[in-house]
Amino acid sequence: MAWFKKSKAPLPKASDKKVHMPEGLWTKCQNCQEIIYSKEIERNWNVCPKCDYHFRITSQERLDLILDKDSFVEMDVELKPKDFLDFKDSKKYRDRIKAAIKKRAINEAVICGEGTINELPVMVAVLDFGYMGGSMGSVVGEKITRAIEHAIDHRRPVIIFSSSGGARMQESIMSLMQMAKTSAALMRLKEMNLPFISVLLDPTTGGVTASFAMLGDINMAEPRALIGFAGPRVIEQTIRQELPEGFQRAEYLLEHGMVDMIVRRSEMKDRISQVLRMFFKS
Amino acid sequence: MQPYLDFEKPLIELETKIRELKQYSTTDTSFSSEIEKLEKKAEKLHKEIFSKLSRWQRTQLARVPGRPFTLEYVNYIFTDWFEMHGDRLYRDDPAIVCGFARLEGEPCAIIGHQKGRDTKEKVYRNFGMPHPEGYRKALRIMKMAEEFELPIFTFVDTPGAFPGIGAEERGQAEAIARNLREMAGLKVPVITTVTGEGGSGGALAIAVANRVLMMEYSIYSVISPEGCAAILWGDGGMAPQAAEALKLTAQDIDALGDVIDDVIPEPSGGAHNDPEAAAKNVKEYLLKNLNELKYLSPDELVEHRYQKFRAMTRIQE
Ligand SMILES: [Zn+2]
């Protein structure tokens, strides 16, 4: 999603970044390096009890955390991405799709549907970073657009949880166009005076940040989440300068006026509920 | 002489030879048949090279230093031009030029990326890579055009939005996102022409239009071939392969059917060989497209633009 200078050193693939999930009996926190009993982390919202580091969680875990029990009704479950360009790098896109579906047991990198938060009906979309880095191709764009249009038709607030490397390269120009499509849908939502909460999670960059994720009436972020337009490596290579401490972290965005609040995972549901009730009369 | 590209080298050599012979032939007429022969050969070679350009070669053409930039198109196509500066928030960004002018006498707004010619101007224009204030200036002018009921013409030619500390601090992502949303709601005709490089979000931020046109040798892509190669191949040097995979040429995108509306023909060898002729073609297409949009009411224009982008979807059956 950005202009790269030719580099000799190969960049690690965004999608290869290990999502540090607590597994096994003990987990080493990647932030404070403490070895912690896994159950203790799980009980603590997948947040490190020693240093407050927020581990990445799956989209399903996110929904469980935010929505009232058994309230979620998923929409557009069947929609799968299409390799309409026959895109091939070291792997074929169609094989990457198959692998992602198998790995994550979902058809695309976003889950959308209706549910309730403390009994308030909402439309919710959660990007799944484990599915091709949560990247936005035309089906992700389509599902998010449909979710927003559904919210308009049924007068529901919209909440989108973003964690994404940006637009999906394998769908080239069609991925780019999803930025316009989703943002246009938000224009309509705004005209209908329906609130939109964007929650930016670790990490949110590129074409997702530069479209719907930055357009919340309220932008929330989890502590220390990496949020930006260009990735830090790209910036470093372009300006050949070391980046300041904490650059592009949630706290930095709060300081520079890009997000309204940083919300800890344990408080997320109640905070969203509080905010929505301020603006939304059902 | 215009700077030339590697794949044009045999052609340039031939043309140089013809020019030299022509100089001699003023004193010696025996060269004339030889010249004629070489000219035919050059013509054939030109056709050969340009009929089978790779996507990487087309990418190089889209970036060729002599290509006309926004201000040249403004000069050739419009009259009565005056430039507007600044986003009223932070500063003026020279990587995007904005202003008002007349097209065949009718007032309109113009917004476009601007690259530089010499080293000094390239730096001044930041190589056509805008900061957030550039996008915010563009939005200010678009809103003004809407207020005064003027059509908007945008010209896209950027490697991408600038990735830097200041750009991030001042909300590059927010500036682009806001433009996407606000452009979707503009109640005046918007016509975008991709003249050179359509570099990802930095291009799209001024390209949510009723009509999107691409010059014959322009490109439009979600990421630069170099960036794509660095990420997917682990080697920026694989850019030619990435360009092939991305299918980023005007012809590729036209073939998708629903992303662009017209491909504007360029003079032989590319717009840089005859900027005035290139501009003449652009003007013709701008007038044609504006005429077709004239019959839409403000609300219909918004609906038309919404449906255009709404339809861009590819789903596995
Ligand atoms: Zn820790």
Tell me the DSSP string of B24-53: HHTT-GGGHHHHHHHHHHHHHHHHHHHHT-
Q: Is A222:A250 a contact under the CB 8 Å cutoff? A: yes
B256-259, Cβ contacts within 8 angstroms, sequence gap of 24 or more: B256/A173, B256/A174, B258/B308, B258/B311, B258/B312, B259/A173, B259/A174, B259/A177, B259/B212, B259/B220, B259/B312
Q: Where are the alpha helices (DSSP H) in chain B?
A: 9-25, 32-51, 55-62, 70-77, 119-124, 132-147, 165-169, 172-184, 200-204, 225-228, 239-246, 250-256, 275-293, 298-310
Q: What is the pLDDT of residue A15?
A: 40
Q: Do A180 and B159 touch (CB under 8 A)?
A: no
Residue A131 CA, ligand 1 centroid: distance in Å: 25
Closest CA to B97 of B114, B82, B78: B114
Cα–Cα distance measured from residue B90 to residue B137, given in angstroms and rounded to the nearest whole number: 10
Q: How far apart are the first and last CA of chain A?
A: 39
Q: What is the pLDDT of residue A17?
A: 39
Centre a 10 Å sphere on the Cβ of residue A131 and count the other Cβ atoms it contains. Answer: 27
Closest CA to A75 of A131, A151, A161, A155: A151
Cα–Cα distance measured from residue B183 to residue B162, given in angstroms and rounded to the nearest whole number: 21
Q: Is B43:B86 a contact under the CB 8 Å cutoff? A: no
Cα–Cα distance measured from residue A20 to residue A110, given in angstroms and rounded to the nearest whole number: 20
Q: What is the pLDDT of residue B169?
A: 96
CA atoms within 13 A on the CB side of B223: 33
From chain A residues 78-137, the ones with a CB under 8 A of any chain B CB are: 79-82, 84-85, 87-90, 97
B29-55: b (≥16 Cβ within 10 Å) or e: eebeeebeebeeebeebbeebbeebeb
Q: Do A180 and B184 touch (CB under 8 A)?
A: yes
Tokens 């806001």 found at: B178
Please return the burial class of B120, using the count of CB atoms within 10 Å of its CB with bins 0-12, 13-18 and 19+. exposed
Helix %, strand %, coil % of chain A (to 5)? 40, 20, 40
Per-residue pLDDT of chain B (317 residues; tens, 9 = 90+): 455 788 888 888 888 888 888 887 776 667 788 888 888 998 899 888 898 999 999 999 999 989 999 999 999 999 999 999 999 999 999 999 999 999 999 999 999 999 999 999 999 999 999 999 999 999 999 999 999 999 999 999 999 999 999 999 999 999 999 999 999 999 999 999 999 999 999 999 999 999 999 999 999 999 999 999 999 999 989 999 999 999 999 999 999 999 999 999 999 999 999 999 999 999 999 999 999 999 999 999 999 999 999 999 999 97
- Determine the residue of chain B that is closest to A190 in CA distance: B181
- Residues in B closer than 8 angstroms to A177, CB to CB, are 204, 259, 309, 312
Q: Beta partners for B98?
A: B84, B111
Cα–Cα distance measured from residue B109 to residue B149, given in angstroms and rounded to the nearest whole number: 10
Q: What is the pLDDT of residue B220?
A: 98
What is the H or E stretch that residue A250 is in? helix A250-255
Tokens linked to A203: 């990490």
Q: Sketch out chain A's domains with CATH numbers.
A: 17-55 (no CATH), 58-279 (3.90.226.10)
Cα–Cα distance measured from residue B206 to residue A115, given in angstroms and rounded to the nearest whole number: 36
What is the H or E stretch that residue B113 is in? strand B106-113
Q: What is the pLDDT of residue A9?
A: 41
Q: What is the pLDDT of residue B4?
A: 74
Tokens linked to A71: 């309230």
Per-residue pLDDT of chain A (282 residues; tens, 9 = 90+): 444 444 444 443 444 334 455 457 899 998 899 999 999 999 999 999 999 999 999 999 999 999 999 999 999 999 999 999 999 998 999 999 999 999 999 999 999 999 999 999 999 999 999 999 999 999 999 999 999 999 999 999 999 999 999 999 999 999 999 999 999 999 999 999 999 999 999 999 999 999 999 999 999 999 999 999 999 988 988 888 889 989 999 999 999 999 999 999 999 999 999 999 999 876
A192 touches chain B (CB under 8 A): no
Find the CB nearest B235 among A2, A10, A258. Answer: A10
Strands A196-204, B152-158: pairing kind: unpaired
CA angle A73, A75, A80 (to 5 degrees): 140
List, as one string, the DSSP characters of A95-156. HHHHHHHHHHSSSSSEEEEEEEETTEEEEEEEE-TTTGGG-B-HHHHHHHHHHHHHHHHHT-
Q: Is B218:B178 a contact under the CB 8 Å cutoff? A: no
Residue spans of beta strands (DSSP E) within chain A: 26-28, 35-37, 73-75, 110-117, 120-127, 158-164, 196-204, 218-221, 261-262
The overall average pLDDT reported for chain A is: 91
Tokens linked to B218: 């322009």
Q: Do B223 and A186 touch (CB under 8 A)?
A: no
Q: Do A171 and B222 touch (CB under 8 A)?
A: yes
Give ion ligand 1 contacts, CB < 5 A: A 29, 31-32, 48, 50-51, 53
Tokens linked to B139: 């939005």
Q: Do B200 and A167 touch (CB under 8 A)?
A: yes
Q: What is the pLDDT of residue B190?
A: 98
Phi, psi of B188 (to 5 degrees): -130, 160
